[in-house]
Each structure stands twice: as structure tokens, then as C-alpha cells.
Structure 1
């Protein structure tokens, strides 16, 4: 029934697109990484010193490429004890290009490195490209709109434009060969949102623009109206469910930096000014909670920004868990892994939509070959 519905929706012209060869209901596995921070340097990595991000992320891409022959642990989760097989996709929840602060390369350079050392290698020796579902992060956005203190260059839209092109299934390769394409409309941060829905194996993958603020929630409502309430929806965003209030636009508007607000979210902050601003108790958080109560088929939230592996939850105002959330490590800025290669990790997520079950497993990707890479595991229902 789901397969017939998916075909009907696509033919009707709605923005659902089958991203992979997974058949609806067929179990599948994807990897979640975040905060690649091209432009930074890792102090030490696998015995070397001062290793640039592109080398670290290229090594991560090689590990991801090796996953299909790995065997999942016999832990009782989805696909336990089975060979991983082809990944359905790799999700990257933002902060691809580090802010172009003093000593950091421009976003244009970082975006090219992301394509050539991470995205393209993932598809090497494959019959079809491995989908990479990338979200925008606060660093990507700040490069595009400006930051205080000023960056150099002060504005560089390359990474955000590339993310938007990927979201719209345009050819971001043009960015590698044509810096000034007169036929290409200039990127407009207020207009060009990096958000989209992809259909994978009977599950709706919803990638959000940084965090579900007021404007993003309006878009979500339109998309969710086209998704049957029997279909699980997974949210992917850069910011955690309890977003930093500094990421909003100042209450009275203004450029990034006004009142200490960074202007990454188009919604104007409704609450106490900084530094007293608190998300808990704010109207925008309660409106997000209301959306989740209205759409119970939203089953999980995957994010980066705060760089360690954690399984947590967005809770209702009374403390009741409302939405399971999964935070992932960063290869460059990990809270626990920045100084310890053995703690570098990404998440491997296996889903059985027919049985309505999801398992998240931590994969510690820089351990010696004689050590098990499998870390913590958690399973949740998709109903």
C-alpha cells in the first residue's frame, strides 16, 4: 500500500523523491555524521600532527565506504548480526565550512574540499552515487550572511549556495567551474531555504534549515500535510531541539550581531534580550512542541552542533519525553574526541519500517583493527 502511495505522490508532482533503491518496508541502514568543519586543523590524528580537516574527513569517508562488508553486532537491534550492506544514504547535519575567522580558509575553498574529499569518494566504485543528505549549520550560514567579529571575506555564500543546489537537486558541480555564472540567480539567504523531504524505504526523511523556527514550521506543516500519518518521519537539523537563542534574529530585526543575535533563523526572538534569553518557556519552543503533538508520526530528531554522541530527548514542559533525539560527534571539534582518536564516532542507524523499529549504534571509526568499533546502542519504536 505504501509503495503504491509513494508512486502516486511522485506522479502527482509533490516534492517526494525516491532517494535510493530501497523498496518501501525493506530494512535499510544509513550513517549520520556532522560538523566536518573544513578549514580547521586537528592537533593530532592517527600519529600525525596538525592534520587539516580535509585529510581527517577523507579518512572518515574511507571508513564509510568500508561499511557494506561489516557485520552489525548481535545486540537484538534491527538487522542484528547481519552484514551492513549498501548504505541507503549518509546524512551530514551541518557545519561543513567553518566560519572564515582569522586563520581559517574561505567557505569557497572548504566547499570544494567537501565535494572532492568527502562526497565524491563516497560514490567511488559504486554503480550509482551514494546519496548525501546535507543540512546547513550555523557556521555555513554565518559565512553567507556575515558575523561579528567580521569574517574574511565578510560574506561568502558558496557553501550555502551549494547546499541549496543539493537540496533542489541542481548541479552544484557548477560551483567548481563557474564562480560567476550570469544565468544563475544569486543566492538569497532569506529566500533560499535548505530544507527538503526524501522518501527512503517507507520512511520520510525531512531535512530542516538549521532549526524548526516559525518559518520552518510553516514549511513543515505543508509537507506533513502530504505525508500519511502512518508513515514515520525523521527530522534532521543542525541545531539541537533546545536551540541556542543567539541563533535567532534580534527582536527588532537588524543585521547579524544586533543585540548579540546571529540572525541565522529568520524568526525574530520573542522573549528576554540576551544574555538573559532562555528557550525553555518561550513561545517558539511551545509552538514546536505543539507541532510534534499534532504530528505523532514524527519519531526522531537527529542533529549535530554540540559535538559528542548522546541519546537524549526533547521533553514537554512537565518533563515528559516528547521526541527521541540523537546527537553525534564531530571529527574536528568533538567534546570528547578532539584529543583522543579512540573516541571519534559516527552513528549507524538501521530501520525496519514494516516492523516499525529503529536502532542507533555508535561506530568508533578510528580504533585499531583489533578492537571492536561498536559502542552504545539504543532501539526505539517507530509508532
Structure 2
């Protein structure tokens, strides 16, 4: 008698030899994935929440330029006469001059036993922080931004606080897709680029942004919290519909900042934008004019995994840079994925190597109108999203400068 194999649960991820799964989803606990529907091609669609770590303290610690957050962490001096942690009566900020000798005198009055902690070790009197220390006279120490790998278990999906809607990003996505559908997942490179956008608000404030290969739309959602208009582009009606749903799920983020996100089709293998009104996610004449007249920032996250597509991306970047009215900057994120190949019998990273060769070719491109300056961006800025920022994650900046 033949025994049938048990049917897997609907929310269970099934791996096949022709599917890939993002590390973002692989290392996320199962209870944080909520299956919500099947898409038009029968793939399970999951809803995940990404917590934004943008408290007032973290904004100040980041050293981000852009102004308004600099005053968020300004502490008021404690009232006079409130104890040892405040200023002495009549002293204002005199506790800034608290010396080791003063600490020793205080300790001697309390007795030698007060200098020892409960284990018998010497309890050193520390100089209290003064409000004037927020701007020290000497050189500031380098800030250390720890890598955030995981969050506490109790901080799960059910912990969405109604009083803090701006702290959560909701993203619909699929898992374990074929290679042609990897845009339906969230990748670490997108989270790295989102971190950079949140760190460099001054660069994106009030500008027009075009994202290539937007996938789930996470990067565009973050950019819309600062930018005036974000054109979120990709190909495939099903993918663009998912992206549109994610924009709607997080519309409050862009609305608060006054930004607009428009989901549009942009095929890297075609020279012109689709302006056919019968085609979903096509461009209007007004949108095409706005794109070419005002765009100054181009974004692309984790789209460099196939050599032919990588070539198409760089051709698209060059074509757009020549058509845009203003000088533009492209910011690209990539993950250097190491693989053992039978052809080389060694660990290689062919997709990354091809990406670097394209960067080099673009920089050496002889042109009478533009020159392209390529420079890496050090990933030392603080994390605002929870993921593993491995050293293989890289950011690159391409600046298109007109030749005068």
C-alpha cells in the first residue's frame, strides 16, 4: 500500500534546487512571518514587519546632518540643590569642574569603607557628565556603532504600538523564489541602503529620486520620508502590484513628510519609458518631464547578480545621466557572494567581479558631456534596521559631473 507524503503547511517554506532565499527571511523567526495571500502566479505572500530604530537618542548619536534632530537630545541641567548629580547651590554648571581631589575629599569624609564596592574592589569616583560636555573643546572620539543582529523575542510582530506608527515598516514579500523572482524578497543590500538614506537625510531632503529594480519597494518607502518625489521602478505586473501594496501599507510615512511615491515600469533592456496608458504602471507625459527635469538621485539595491542584467543596469544609468537636466548621483548597494565553482575549482565571486569591472569601465568612459566619478562609501554609519551587516555588504557612489 502506497503511503502519501504529508502535505506541508501553507506557511512552511519549501526549498527546491532552483529556488533562492534571502538571508533576511532565512534568519527571521517563523512567528514573524505572516502568510496573507497567494499572488497571481500562485506564490505564497508573507507580511513581515521591520522595526525602525530611530529614537531621539539614536538620532543624536548618529551625527546625521540635516538639522532638526540635533536638538532632540539636548538635556536640561538639573535644578540646583537636588543632590550630588546636580549642580551645587549657586554653582550653575560648576559641577563641570569636579576634580579628582574633590572626589577624594568627599570619600575621606564618608570613611575608607565607602571607597569599596560589595566585592571589596576599589569604587572609583567618576566625573559626572556636564551639559557643556555635549560640545567638548578637544577632538571628539570616534563613535562606535554596534552591529545589530537580532531583537528580543518579546519584541515580535504583535508589538505594533498604535502610538508609534512611524517605528514599523510593513512589507509583503515572497520566500524561496526562482532566480527571476528574487525581487519579491527583501535583501540585506536594501536594508544597508535604507540605513544610509536615514543617515544622510541632507542628501535626500526635498529632492526627486529614481530607484531602479525596486523590488518590494522598501528603499523607496524609506527615501519618501525625506524626498519630494520617489519613482519606484521595476518590471513585471505582479511584482509592481506587490510594490504598490507595500507603498499603501506604509503611506503614513511618506504622507507625514510630504513625499510621494509613484510605482512605474522601467525596463533596463529598453531605451524609452513606456507611455502607453493601456499598460499598467506606465508613465504619463507629465511624469516623464518631471523625471528628467528634477531627478538628482538614482538608487539601486542588490540588482547585480546576473552579468547581462548588470550590463543593462549600467547602460541605463549612463543613459539616464545624459538625459537628466541636472547633475545626478547614483548610490548602489551590492553583496559580495562567494561561491565555489567547478570551472575554477576555487572560491570565486563572478557576479561581484563583473560589477567592479563595470564600475571601472564607467569611470574610464570617454565622453564630451559627462564624466563619472566612482567612490566607495564606508559602511560605518549606524543601523536603523535590524539585520546582519556583514563585511561583504558594500555601498558605491557614482557622481555624474558635467564637463565644462
TM-score range for the pair, normalised by the shorter chain length: 0.3 to 0.5
TM-score normalised by structure 2 residue count: 0.31
**Higher RCO (Cα < 8 Å, 6 or more apart):** 1
Q: Which structure's residues are more often helix, by fraction?
A: 2
